[in-house]
Structure 1
Amino acid sequence: MKKVLHRIQISTVLGLSLFLFALLSNPLFAQEETAASADVSTAATEEAGGGDPVKGKQLFNQYCAACHALDRKMTGPALANVETRLMEEEGLDKEWFYSWIKNSAGMITAGDPYAVRIYNEYNQAAMTAFPTLSNEDIDDILAYTAAPPPAPAAQTDAAATTATGEGDSSGLSNEMVLGALALVFGLLVIMLVLVNKTLRRIAEANGVDLQKEREKKIPIWKAFAQNQFLVFVTVVFLLLASAYYAYAWMMQIGIDQGYAPVQPIHYSHKIHAGDNKIECKYCHSSARTSKHSGIPSLNVCMNCHKSIYEYKGNPEGPSAEDLANGYTNEFYTNEIKKLYKAVGWDEENQRYTGETQPVEWVRIHNLPDFAYFNHSQHVSVAGIECQTCHGPVEEMEVMYQYSPLTMGWCIECHRETNVKLADNPYYEKIHNELSKKYGVEELTAAQMGALECGKCHY
């Protein structure tokens, strides 16, 4: 009867454990995702008086955002509620907006009082004319400037909900899940104890003395120590393995592949070189003519960021990985503020203050002093792409050292890379002589003498 009783107990505990596991794994209890309502844009459209703020936002970003913002002065004035403000304060009408946007210079020449005043206030620079915009397009833009600020993105709300643990009422809280898992773990422990007791009773019923069996066993370390051959083989193996790993560790000294330091201003190559397709040599211009690629001047950054004062992100919104790492639109906007502080740029008045601060960038790629490398020879003469050595820079959120930059890595590249001969008169005579010597049509860098010690060490 005891054996049957324990079997029933074990079956009961196992059944409860499996039931709770299936319950927790049921997708019906997964937290539901929230979705943004599409009625917001419809209500904004009705309030805007005929224009479509959704279409207006697209047109605003395409034609206006380079010089205007809704809530602050940039190259031009702030445009939030501009139609209502100017109608009430200046007595202007819709026709004035149509004429101004399509031909601002014409209105200034005609002597329109408000047009002349704006022209003088903003450095006497006439606004770009947009004759291709229809009246409906302008209505849409004005509707966008009059629309209330959009609600936060659904994806951001979902991320915040996940972080605070306040999910939808149909989901399970973290406390409930942890409590259920603790209960399952406790039931498994009880089951193992019952199984152990049952096996002991079975052994005793069959006349097995567990104490004597335990005393007969030799500890494994004693059995190992008594086998001299096994000890000798183990010692030899450990010595060889230690020498191998010590040599491998010493060979990695000075190799910083994967090194990705934290920079004083976060610069995303993924956004600049990837999303916006900015040419590498636009910022690293000295790579064409100098040994060094150079650190771009902050004035190069300000060529764009005089007008780009905040990051609005991709239309699809930030990815889950970016949100997990904290790469939100607000994060990137704060990094732009650091740039302004470094160059001494006054956002409000759109001018330089002269109060600058140095930016202490952390160097990533660093060759030993005894190794010579010339960027211009590889970029301008050899025509090698930046990604050959620096990896897929356009995909890197944080810049890191992609290649090992070791001597063996350079030599292997020289052995495999053919010399660019087209439109390159520098190599014509050398190529004609060496192609006869080696009997080949195309020469590698190694055949041109790139493996000579003095090329890189002198």
Structure 2
Amino acid sequence: MRKVTFSQEFFKYLFLLVLVVSFSSTYAQEDATSEEAKSEETAAEQTEESAVPGGDPAKGKELFNSLCAACHKPYSDAVGPALHGVTERREMDWLYEWIKNSQALIKSGDQQAVALYEEWNKVAMNAFPQLSNQDIDDILSYVEQPKPEPKVAVAAEATTGEAQSGGGISNEIVLGILAFVLLMLSVILILVNKTLNRFAQANGIEVKDDKPKGKPIWVAFAENQFLVLSTVIVMLLVVAWYGYGGLMSVGIDQGYEPIQPIHYSHRIHAGENQIECKYCHSSARVSKHSGIPSLNVCMNCHKQIAEVAPETQAKGEQEFNVDYNAEIQKLYEATGWDPQTQSYSGESKPVKWIRIHNLPDFAYFNHSQHVTVGQIECQTCHGPVEEMEIMYQDAPLTMGWCINCHRETNVKMEGNEYYEKIHEELAKKYGVEKVTAAQMGGIECGKCHY
């Protein structure tokens, strides 16, 4: 009917209007974000300007990371004092002598050198005679840069600031107005429709009813025996399929991702910093179990790393809702480490880690046999660990999964005298060049069950 056609056309054009306004506001926000990014880049370039005349912060950063970062931090104390502001506290000529050979300066009786040596528990500073004055200028130029602020929700702040300053109308206001207009027009159309029907009835005009008349659909379905029988069979198959799948998934924890008492990012450690898995899980080389790394292993690095880079901290807060610096403080609390005095208090606390990969007691698995002898990469069973922010169980770890791996994996014979003795006979027996773990007896029941 005419009134129905009019309603459909109206809603179509109104919907297009909403889309146009939404895309326009989105592009405007992207432009604002890009302008904010440009201003941040300009600010970053200004920050990179040398704080020491003639110094290059970029070269200084490389030298600092390779020579100084083990004992010093730019903005906080470590084994040695924080270096930011050192050019204001000391003269440049004195700094040249101290950095190149601090012990010689102490033995000469220099009061500043002796006082600094005693203040920091008489810990001898390494000598760097290979550094030129220009190299030292570069290092000092790097550490004297202003401390960068973390970038958190830049786009959101820009949008909020614009709305508060009256420089534009926010998306929420525009969409709210459009929603209100749409609601009002819908009410008006309903009232107009009722008025037209009443007007037609008053003038004796018959209003055509487009609704089909006939049996209710459930009555027609019940009278058709073929449809009833087919539906029952399909329902039984669906129940059997999902019931079987549910029973077969009992005890399978694939995807298990518990929250640990101290957040540990494998993405940062194994991914960005490329720390080898077996550096922390060292017992995987020689033991049945991979082992939980002791907190002393963590402190090998985190004695010096008390806080992460601002950009890393901002990414953790925005994408993963994690405060990395707070997690490092949890580690210090558990080990009893005081970053200010650079010493242990002797009051440590246990960390109740939650185990993720847990095989049944009747299944035997030896890490050293796979890692050391088989030379299998950790990612084969544990998945892309270097990409995981939160560790989870990647593989199902079922018997079928293990057997398929034994059937498909060739045994590495090089450098293994035991395998070299029987490799030739097994290769002849199976008519192959390389023997799989299954052909070596890797699918016998007694290999994994005892």
Which ranges in structure 2 are unaligned for 5 or more consecutive residues? none
- Determine the C-alpha separation between the residues in 1 that align with 2:179 and 2:57: 52
What is the CA-CA distance between 1:277 and the residue it aligns to?
1.1
What is the CA-CA distance between 1:129 and the residue it aligns to?
2.5
1:388 is aligned to 2:388: no
Q: Percent identity?
A: 56
Residue 77 of structure 2 is matched in structure 1 by: 73
How does 1:19-418 map onto structure 2 within 5 Å?
19-26=17-24, 29-31=28-30, 32-33=32-33, 34=36, 35-36=39-40, 38=42, 42=46, 45=49, 51=55, 56=60, 59-86=63-90, 93-150=91-148, 152-153=149-150, 155-158=151-154, 161=157, 165-167=160-162, 172-183=169-180, 185-186=182-183, 189=186, 193=190, 210=209, 216-312=213-309, 319=315, 323-327=318-322, 331-418=323-410
- Determine the C-alpha separation between the residues in 1 that align with 2:152 and 2:205: 66
Residue 89 of structure 1 is matched in structure 2 by: none
- Determine the C-alpha separation between the residues in 2 that align with 1:423 and 1:326: 48
Q: 1:15 to 1:296 in 2, by over 3 A?
A: closer
CA-based RMSD of the aligned residues comes to 3.5
The farther-off stretch of 270-279 and 223-232 is 223-232
Q: 1:73 to 1:11 in 2, by over 3 A?
A: closer
Task: Decide whether the 8 Å contact of 1:159 with 1:323 is kept in 2.
Answer: no
What is the CA-CA distance between 1:251 and the residue it aligns to?
0.4
Output the amino acid matched with 1:245: Y
What is the CA-CA distance between 1:189 and the residue it aligns to?
3.3
Output the amino acid matched with 1:81: G
TM-score by structure 1 length?
A: 0.84
Task: Decide whether the 8 Å contact of 2:75 with 2:147 is kept in 1.
Answer: no
- Determine the C-alpha separation between the residues in 1 that align with 2:196 and 2:132: 88
- Determine the C-alpha separation between the residues in 2 that align with 1:46 and 1:443: 62
Task: Decide whether the 8 Å contact of 1:71 with 1:80 is kept in 2.
Answer: yes
- Determine the C-alpha separation between the residues in 1 that align with 2:123 and 2:157: 47
Q: 1:75 to 1:229 in 2, by over 3 A?
A: same
Q: 1:411 to 1:209 in 2, by over 3 A?
A: same
Q: 1:39 to 1:279 in 2, by over 3 A?
A: closer
What is the CA-CA distance between 1:9 and the residue it aligns to?
7.8
What is the CA-CA distance between 1:357 and the residue it aligns to?
0.4
Aligned residues: 440
Instruction: Give CA deviations for 1:209-229 in whole Å, capped at 9, x if unaligned.
Output: 639x66x32211111112222
Task: Decide whether the 8 Å contact of 1:41 with 1:53 is kept in 2.
Answer: no
What is the CA-CA distance between 1:51 and the residue it aligns to?
4.5
What is the CA-CA distance between 1:176 and the residue it aligns to?
1.1
Task: Decide whether the 8 Å contact of 2:406 with 2:443 is kept in 1.
Answer: yes
Q: 1:449 to 1:171 in 2, by over 3 A?
A: farther
Output the amino acid matched with 2:376: I
Task: Decide whether the 8 Å contact of 1:13 with 1:191 is kept in 2.
Answer: no
Instruction: Give CA deviations for 1:255-305 in whole Å, capped at 9, x if unaligned.
Output: 111111000000011111111111111111110111000000100111111
SS of structure 1 residue aligned to 2:298: helix
Which ranges in structure 1 are unaligned for 5 or more consecutive residues? 87-92
- Determine the C-alpha separation between the residues in 1 that align with 2:119 and 2:135: 27
Q: 1:167 to 1:332 in 2, by over 3 A?
A: farther
What is the CA-CA distance between 1:242 and the residue it aligns to?
0.3
Output the amino acid matched with 1:119: Y
Q: 1:74 to 1:232 in 2, by over 3 A?
A: same
TM-score by structure 2 length?
A: 0.86
Residue 412 of structure 2 is matched in structure 1 by: 420
SS of structure 1 residue aligned to 2:386: helix
Task: Decide whether the 8 Å contact of 2:266 with 2:385 is kept in 1.
Answer: yes
- Determine the C-alpha separation between the residues in 2 that align with 1:45 and 1:71: 18
What is the CA-CA distance between 1:410 and the residue it aligns to?
0.3
Residue 441 of structure 1 is matched in structure 2 by: 433
Output the amino acid matched with 1:295: I
What is the CA-CA distance between 1:135 and the residue it aligns to?
2.2
What is the CA-CA distance between 1:324 and the residue it aligns to?
3.1
